[in-house]
Structure 1
Amino acid sequence: MKTIGTLSRASGAVLVGTVLLAGCDITNPGPVSDEFLAVKASHAGLVNGAGRRLAEAVNGVSYTGALISREIFPGGQTGSLGHPVLVQGGWIEPGSYGGHFNDAVQSRFIAESAIKILTESEEAPDPNTLAQAYLWAGYAYRVIAENWCETVIPEPDGSPGSLVPSTAPLSVAEQHFSNAISTATNSNFKLAAYAGRAQVNLWMGDWSGASGDASQITDDSWSFDLNMSNLDNATRNQLWFANDNSPYRAFSMIYTYYGGNQGLSSSPPVFVGYTEATGDPRTPVGTTSETWANAALEGFGQVPFLNSLHYTSGDDDIRLASGNEMRLIEAEAMLNSGQWSEAMTLINQVRANAGMNDLFTDYANGLPPASDVATAMSYLMRERGIELWGEARRWGDQRRWETGGLGGDQQLADFETTSVLFTTTIPERSRCLDVPDAERESNPNVPTVG
């Protein structure tokens, strides 16, 4: 069962109204006073703003993060719908990508401002409007924790904050999700809150809490989605549009775990990709009438165009959480308690939901049979990469597992063999985004880069 964050969909309608009115002679009324935001009729619109910003943040990070985490292979495209050369190689320049940061931080700020306004309003807020404000705040913290190295949280009095590890405020996210659970009367919002709390508990290492919350979602087909809209560049699904040949073919699936390189290029490595071997519907890829991606990749040349078919329109929503992910959270919790066989049962359940056999049967690709926690962890790593493709999750998982202590082989796609761009050109592959220059230069508590 698919559940969309419906209030963010309403923000798209507000946006359309703004565009349609743009040709009229209208005077901008300027900032809206807080006293009007406190009116109940304004509550939903305020909360919609937080959902809209979160959709923009996840939309951008799902594309940029897919490059760095090697969910996709760069096609050489720079400029519009592309990335700088060094980013294509896997390196994020410190202080860059202020747009991604602004969207994520503004989502958190608007959501928490809405919570304050709604809870202090003389008019009792609609419980589900307030619950969704809690949800957007909690998920904004989670997105920041997974994709940034550090963040900045203002002081309680509103003065500029200091740099803190991006995971440090996850206890605040946990409380937001708890408040959503106790506030919502909409059962799907409650499930979204349990799922979000399971995700942050996983990051905080509270495996009992993560597993307990995940178990509240019993329908593996359930999901909570961010609404994408083809009506606007900021919310048009970027992973789709970047390769829709209108006119962009900015990346390829060649050389990735999913796409492989079988008969597409004579340049090594040559191997059958996961999707070709299994036909897994979760990571579909395919050739088109176009032979090449838009541009040439440094150190490689023209890139053979193998498209991802995961998203098929600019309106395709991006999941924030799903029932299948909850099964994988339960499996990882079991691995952390030594129950590798039970974990494999849940991993295989997720595969069966997609019509797949166990991974060793379908696509071992050098993996030994699961026989202990470390080998089972390798299967868990791959299944999260398959199940959560294109949802801005892989980059964070890779960083988290580097210090997870359970072993396992992430089997990062071998791009190094293809071009010097991935070896000698970039300083190193980045692990997360950096707090941007705009924040560093305007906040006296945050040091500038260099």
Structure 2
Amino acid sequence: MKKLFKIKAKHVRWVLGTFILIIYTSMNVSCDSVVEVTDPDIVTPESLNNEAGLQTLRAGSLGDLAVAMSGSAAGHGATTGLIVMSGLMADEYDYSGTFPTRREADTRNLQNINTDMNTIYGNLHLARAGAETTIDLLANYGEDPEIESEMQSIIGFSYVMFAETFCGGVSFSKAPANGGDLIFGEPLTTEQMFTAAVSWFDQAQTSAGSSEKLINLARLGKARSLLGLGQIEASAAEVASVPTGFTYNIEQSDNSRRQENGIYIMTTVRRQFSIADGKGDNGLMYRSAMDPRVPWDGGTEFGQDDITLYYNQLKFNSASTSVALASGIEARLIEAEAAANADDAGTVQDIHNELRATMGLSDLDLTGISGDDLLLAHFAERAFWLFSTGHRQGDLRRLVDVYGMPPSEVFPWGDYFKGGQYSPNLKFPVPQSESNNPNYVGCLD
């Protein structure tokens, strides 16, 4: 990604708002004019040496994460985020548009020159690099443990998202905050990405001090990483103290097109991502279940492609609806997974029924269910709770990689509804743009 980061490295050093370059010039205009003009700097380095400045840096990093995960209304035809694209790779969405790059994700037959994925890859790295730069600048402009902790968790989540959705081989390059050339990262295996995430979340917990919100965010991130590593019991122990009512949101806003919720834009506004129902035979019946956790409408008009009957999601019903990055509900679901892994159907049932009661749903009866069937029952419940939040592709991969289930029994499989077949590929490739990194190897797995 040499070209991508060469262009953006200077920007990353001074991450502001929505990726605004901090301009610091000294103008001393001397001329025979009746008006002398002073350069109206947006933000100067000196202005960052305070709480307000650090909060500005923090906002820029979080804004980049929102674009990487949710997408936005900005860009030609809007910008896709990892949430909807990973939903296509899994069983959450059918593609009802005409962009071939998005159809590639729907069939999982992706090329490493896929422009949508290249954009998401770059945006996710930008969010990570911005958070790293914020942490580096804290040392120069005054310590703030809470900002440091939050940014460490954001870095951790970037590693998690790469590990869950991309193949092994992702490199994590470094743009020094004080200038200098980009430090090219070495490609990491999936296991190494999850392990690095654990380290970042451990740092975040240490930095958080007495902030329960940031401690819980780091605990959930670490637990998610441990799930990816197959350390199921340790994951459950990590979140035992996280309250069910906890939520940390990716904030969206209608203040600008870049800040708008890209999930809403790509579904309700552009009708390109339609809620699936039994996708590729193995997919869950998200529509037929008529479950309040996955609200929808539609089925009376076609999508953007004019051939696919369109079903619209209502979970994100405006451009300003936030997206949960981590929640206490997820903590309980992790505990339920540990119980399912231990073949404890009674505990799995109790956890799920307590959660279901909060939505007025009837109780599950898991009597006599065990082994893979119990795991699949749990993962189905998990899918409805976490629908369209960027979890499902990673969950299906975990069923394959950690629990040993055949991909053909987990992912959408067989004939694709628009012709052709679903690919056996389960992961996004490392984009060809990364080949500008001299350490590039493509996919390790």
TM > 0.5 between the two? yes
SS at match of 1:291: strand
- The 1:86/1:182 distance shift into structure 2, 3 A limit, reads closer
RMSD of aligned C-alpha atoms? 3.5
- Residue 4 of structure 1 corresponds to none
Cα distance in 2 for partners of 1:312, 1:197 equals 30
- Residue 345 of structure 1 corresponds to 350
- The 1:253/1:30 distance shift into structure 2, 3 A limit, reads closer
Task: Report how far residue 90 of structure 1 moved.
Answer: 2.8
- The 1:252/1:392 distance shift into structure 2, 3 A limit, reads same
- Residue 84 of structure 2 corresponds to 63
SS at match of 2:403: coil
SS at match of 1:225: strand
Is the counterpart of residue 393 in structure 1 residue 391 in structure 2? yes
- Residue 153 of structure 1 corresponds to 172
1:280-321 Cα distance to aligned partner (Å, 9 max, x none)? 211012127x5211214xxxxx11122111110111111111
Cα distance in 2 for partners of 1:106, 1:12 equals 10
Is the counterpart of residue 232 in structure 1 residue 256 in structure 2? yes
- Residue 383 of structure 1 corresponds to 381
Query: Quick one: which amino acid aligns to residue 248 of structure 2?
Result: F
Contact preservation (8 Å) 1:319, 1:391 = yes
- Residue 303 of structure 2 corresponds to 293
- Residue 252 of structure 1 corresponds to 274
Contact preservation (8 Å) 1:77, 1:251 = no
Contact preservation (8 Å) 1:180, 1:193 = yes
Contact preservation (8 Å) 2:19, 2:60 = no
- Residue 72 of structure 1 corresponds to 93
Query: Quick one: which amino acid aligns to residue 86 of structure 2?
Result: G
Is the counterpart of residue 44 in structure 1 residue 55 in structure 2? yes
Cα distance in 1 for partners of 2:259, 2:420 equals 31
TM-score, normalising length from structure 2? 0.78
User: Equivalences for 1:132-171 in 2 at 5 Å?
Assistant: 132-150=150-168, 151-154=170-173, 159-171=183-195
Cα distance in 2 for partners of 1:154, 1:238 equals 27
Residue segments in structure 1 that go unaligned for 5+ positions in a row: 1-10, 19-24, 258-267, 297-301, 361-367
Query: Quick one: which amino acid aligns to residue 117 of structure 1?
Result: L
Is the counterpart of residue 125 in structure 1 residue 124 in structure 2? no
SS at match of 1:305: strand
SS at match of 1:243: helix
Is the counterpart of residue 313 in structure 1 residue 318 in structure 2? yes
Contact preservation (8 Å) 2:49, 2:142 = no
Contact preservation (8 Å) 2:294, 2:313 = yes
SS at match of 1:244: helix
More deviation, 161-170/101-110: 161-170
Q: Which residue, out of 433, 438, 446, partners 2:440?
A: 446
- The 1:408/1:436 distance shift into structure 2, 3 A limit, reads closer
SS at match of 2:227: helix
More deviation, 134-143/234-243: 234-243
Residue segments in structure 2 that go unaligned for 5+ positions in a row: 1-13, 22-36, 71-80, 177-181
Contact preservation (8 Å) 2:18, 2:63 = no
Cα distance in 1 for partners of 2:253, 2:38 equals 25
SS at match of 2:430: coil
- Aligned sequence identity (%): 21
Is the counterpart of residue 421 in structure 1 residue 420 in structure 2? yes
TM-score, normalising length from structure 1? 0.77
- The 1:69/1:115 distance shift into structure 2, 3 A limit, reads same
- Residue 265 of structure 1 corresponds to none
For this pair of structures, how many residues does the alignment match?
394
Contact preservation (8 Å) 1:90, 1:422 = no
- The 1:232/1:98 distance shift into structure 2, 3 A limit, reads farther
- The 1:154/1:239 distance shift into structure 2, 3 A limit, reads closer
1:355-400 Cα distance to aligned partner (Å, 9 max, x none)? 212456xxxxxxx965212211011111121111111111111112
1:318-360 Cα distance to aligned partner (Å, 9 max, x none)? 1111111111111112233343332232233332332212456
1:24-64 Cα distance to aligned partner (Å, 9 max, x none)? x996969976x876665532222222211111111100111
Contact preservation (8 Å) 1:149, 1:166 = yes
- The 1:16/1:111 distance shift into structure 2, 3 A limit, reads closer
Contact preservation (8 Å) 1:12, 1:229 = no
Task: Report how far residue 233 of structure 1 moved.
Answer: 3.7
- The 1:134/1:244 distance shift into structure 2, 3 A limit, reads same
Task: Report how far residue 413 of structure 1 moved.
Answer: 5.0
- Residue 34 of structure 2 corresponds to none
SS at match of 1:294: coil
1:74-124 Cα distance to aligned partner (Å, 9 max, x none)? 113328xxx444333332212432211111112222222322332x33x64
- Residue 21 of structure 1 corresponds to none
Cα distance in 2 for partners of 1:179, 1:432 equals 29
- The 1:282/1:415 distance shift into structure 2, 3 A limit, reads farther
- Residue 65 of structure 2 corresponds to 54
SS at match of 2:304: strand
Cα distance in 2 for partners of 1:175, 1:411 equals 30
Is the counterpart of residue 91 in structure 1 residue 109 in structure 2? yes
Is the counterpart of residue 191 in structure 1 residue 191 in structure 2? no
Cα distance in 2 for partners of 1:26, 1:163 equals 47
- Residue 75 of structure 2 corresponds to none
Cα distance in 1 for partners of 2:348, 2:398 equals 19
Cα distance in 2 for partners of 1:332, 1:390 equals 19
Contact preservation (8 Å) 2:16, 2:56 = no
